[in-house]
């Protein structure tokens, strides 16, 4: 998608297929709507008295207004003016782009970025606008037999009409948002692809493709032999149940050293992102019920978010040092699969009694967390569709955030709020560690039904003692089930906002 800017002064002269102007509840016109109203001899004022009252989420299309060069003016409802928020703004931009997509337009122009919003500077509004347009133009056809050409969005360009002095900030925000949208696009498609196509091998190839496309990205894809040589006994125990070969993917984005800034807290190490890459989670011998088991193809959404973030990072050429680690395999039942009661030895040397083979995410992540030590990281954030218990606790609104490091936790929570991709902090008290006691190993891989999301995080914490660490449980936020089934690309916006905030 291409973005550009135009001056609001001559709004009525903007030649475009569709021009979006905002209207608040009770027909209160925004400045841009007022300009169009004057140019068209009061065409808007008449309409907002009756059929269009500015209800949030509603749109009304007016064609061929006198005195207005745009072919269509799209009125976009912004709801009550005193309730206007970043979320409403982002939704309005998305609704406008969705209208353009539905009408099969190739380009449009929007004035919505210039609607003032206290606490959300214009650069952030532009970023959200680009992400909204990206959401509206997303299209999946990777596994369709005969892709429908008409279903493919044609919208290529959105012009943002702003005041001249804002151009630099808006262009920066659009560039950031555009890159985040592209990262989300990759994450979403990987999530949506079926498990027989999006295999560990495919994720490895996707990482290598990123390295070929961007010279700041270097990638290593380790195969089973190399993973064995590292001693990743917990990860390999999960992979063993499947005929699909595992991969351990190591990505590095190194921004230009000259431009690279030292981390604010003085710690010079890289930021490490670790993504759970279970390309299908059947549960293994502790097999899951059949209903909605298909959704366990989404169990690699943590990995997808890391790859998506890397695409955005590389496109923006951020002057940061970032490592991505992706342990990826299937969790399947077979004659070679883990059995309840088995004891495996992790790369750290700690042994684990596997009481439930369906608690596999922590088994692959713990070895990746040990591997992360070699980078002497400034911070490690793991991202995983880890527990059904987190869905029970937080639903699909917030990702679960677990960390003993207040500064890191606050930075991630803030990034979530700024990017409208929110997380909620969960407890990680040592008292919960009790539940992981085993009679036959250093720990069990489950802690029983109480506080299941917390004991999963407690398990991981035992492998993350060498650096500041946070865990994001995205089981409830990474995809939607039911009629709207599909990946959300969360938490790519949160991760990218966190990285942008380092600069
Ligand atoms: N991938 C699942 C977690 C999950 C389940 C995410 C449902 C979204 C929806 C994970 O590997 C898993 O199976 N966790 C178990 C852990 C339990 C056995 C302690 C769970 O949550 O049931
Ligand atoms: Mn599982
Ligand atoms: Zn899983």
Q: What's 47's domain CATH number?
A: 3.40.220.10
User: Does the pLDDT at position 5 exceed 90?
Assistant: no
Residue with the bigger pLDDT between 150 and 239: it is 239
Q: Could you tell me if 316 and 444 lie in one domain?
A: yes
Residues 166-214: pLDDT tens digits?
999 999 999 999 999 999 999 999 999 999 999 999 999 999 999 999 9
356 Cα nearest atom in ligand 1: 18
Q: How many domains does the chain have?
A: 2
Mean of all residue pLDDT scores within the chain: 96
Residues 319-377: pLDDT tens digits?
999 999 999 999 999 999 999 999 999 999 999 999 999 999 999 999 999 999 999 99
Q: Of all residues in the chain, what percent carry a pLDDT higher than 70? A: 98
Is 288 an annotated catalytic residue? yes
CB proximity list for 151: less than 8 A, separation 6 or greater: 139, 141
User: What integer is the mean pLDDT of 232-237?
Assistant: 98
Residue where a domain stops, chosen among 81, 104, 137: 137
User: Does the pLDDT at position 266 exceed 70?
Assistant: no
Q: Is residue 240 part of a domain?
A: yes
DSSP-based three-state secondary structure for 74 = strand
Q: Could you tell me if 303 and 203 lie in one domain?
A: yes
pLDDT at position 151, please?
86
- Give the mutation target among 358, 451, 479, 482 for probing the ligand 1 site: most ligand atoms within 8 A of CB: 358
360 annotated to bind ligand: yes
299 annotated to bind ligand: yes
pLDDT at position 256, please?
65
List the beta strands (DSSP E) in 231-367: 247-254, 271-275, 277-281, 321-331, 343-345, 351-353
DSSP state of 137: H
Alpha carbon of 456 to ligand 1 centroid (Å): 10
pLDDT at position 149, please?
80
User: What integer is the mean pLDDT of 249-276?
Assistant: 79
- What pairing do the DSSP bridges indicate for beta strands 107-110 and 157-162? parallel
484 annotated to bind ligand: no
Q: Classify the C-alpha dihedral 75-163-7-417 as positive or negative.
A: negative
Query: What is the Cα 72 distance to its own chain's centre?
Result: 33
Contact between residue 233 and residue 345 where contact means Cβ atoms under 8 Å apart: yes
User: What integer is the mean pLDDT of 115-139?
Assistant: 97
385 Cα nearest atom in ligand 1: 6
Confidence category of residue 280, pLDDT binned at 50, 70, 90: very high
pLDDT at position 91, please?
98
pLDDT at position 73, please?
98
What's the CA gap between 43 and 23, in Å, rounded?
Answer: 13
Q: Is residue 157 part of a domain?
A: no
Least confident stretch, 73-77, 266-270, 498-502: 266-270
Cα dist from 219 to 65, 213, 301, 381, whole Å: 54, 11, 19, 19
pLDDT at position 214, please?
97
Q: Which ligand is nearest to the CA of 354?
A: 1
Strand partners, 19: 73, 109
pLDDT at position 257, please?
59
446 Cα nearest atom in ligand 1: 19
Q: Could you tell me if 367 and 470 lie in one domain?
A: yes
pLDDT at position 500, please?
97
Q: Could you tell me if 239 and 339 lie in one domain?
A: yes
Q: Could you tell me if 360 and 218 lie in one domain?
A: yes
What's the CA gap between 77 and 242, in Å, rounded?
Answer: 51
Contact between residue 497 and residue 402 where contact means Cβ atoms under 8 Å apart: no
Cα dist from 306 to 48, 176, 302, 309, whole Å: 45, 17, 7, 5
396 lines ligand 1 (CB under 6 A): no
Closest by alpha carbon to 474, among 493, 459, 458, 461?
493
């Amino acid at each position: 998608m291409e973005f550009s800017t135009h001056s609001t002064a001559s709004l009525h002269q903007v030649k475009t297929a569709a021009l979006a102007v905002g209207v608040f509840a009770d027909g209160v016109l925004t400045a841009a709507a007022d300009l169009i109203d004057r140019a068209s001899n009061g065409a808007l004022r008449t309409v907002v008295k009756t059929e269009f009252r500015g209800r949030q989420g509603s749109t009304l299309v007016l064609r061929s207004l006198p005195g207005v060069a745009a072919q269509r003016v799209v009125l976009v409802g912004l709801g009550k003016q005193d309730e206007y928020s970043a979320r409403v703004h982002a939704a309005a931009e998305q609704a406008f782009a969705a209208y353009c997509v539905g009408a099969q337009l190739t380009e449009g122009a929007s004035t919505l970025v210039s609607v003032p919003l206290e606490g959300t500077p214009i650069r952030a509004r532009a970023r959200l606008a680009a992400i909204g347009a990206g959401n509206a133009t997303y299209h999946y056809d990777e596994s369709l037999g005969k892709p429908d050409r008409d279903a493919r969005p044609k919208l290529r360009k959105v012009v943002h009409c702003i005041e001249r002095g804002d151009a630099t900030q808006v262009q920066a925000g659009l560039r950031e948002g555009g890159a985040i949208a592209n990262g989300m696009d990759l994450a979403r498609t990987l999530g949506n692809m079926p498990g027989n196509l999006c295999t560990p091998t495919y994720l490895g190839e996707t990482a290598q493709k990123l390295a070929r496309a961007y010279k700041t990205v270097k990638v290593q894809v380790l195969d089973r032999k190399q993973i064995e040589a590292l001693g990743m006994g917990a990860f390999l125990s999960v992979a063993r149940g499947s005929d699909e070969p595992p991969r351990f993917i190591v990505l590095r984005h190194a921004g230009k050293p000259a431009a690279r800034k030292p981390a604010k807290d003085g710690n010079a190490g890289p930021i490490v992102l670790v993504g759970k890459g279970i390309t299908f989670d059947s549960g293994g011998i502790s097999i899951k019920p059949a209903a909605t088991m298909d959704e366990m193809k989404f169990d690699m959404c943590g990995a997808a978010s890391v790859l998506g973030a890397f695409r955005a990072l590389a496109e923006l050429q951020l002057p940061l040092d970032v490592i991505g680690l992706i342990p990826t395999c299937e969790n399947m039942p077979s004659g070679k699969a883990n059995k309840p009661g088995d004891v495996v030895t992790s790369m750290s040397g700690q042994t684990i009694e596997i009481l439930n083979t369906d608690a596999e995410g922590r088994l692959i992540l713990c070895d990746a967390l040990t591997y992360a030590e070699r980078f002497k990281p400034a911070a490690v954030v793991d991202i995983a569709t880890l527990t059904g218990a987190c869905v029970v606790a937080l639903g699909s609104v917030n990702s679960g955030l677990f960390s003993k490091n207040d500064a890191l936790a606050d930075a991630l929570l803030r990034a979530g709020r700024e990017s409208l991709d929110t997380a909620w902090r969960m407890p990680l008290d040592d008292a919960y560690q009790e539940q992981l006691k085993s009679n036959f190993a250093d720990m069990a891989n489950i802690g029983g039904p109480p506080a299941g999301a917390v004991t999963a995080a407690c398990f991981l914490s035992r492998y993350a003692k060498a650096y500041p660490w946070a865990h994001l449980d995205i089981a409830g936020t990474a995809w939607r089930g039911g009629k709207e089934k599909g990946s959300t690309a969360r938490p790519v916006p949160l991760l990218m906002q966190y990285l942008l905030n380092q600069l």
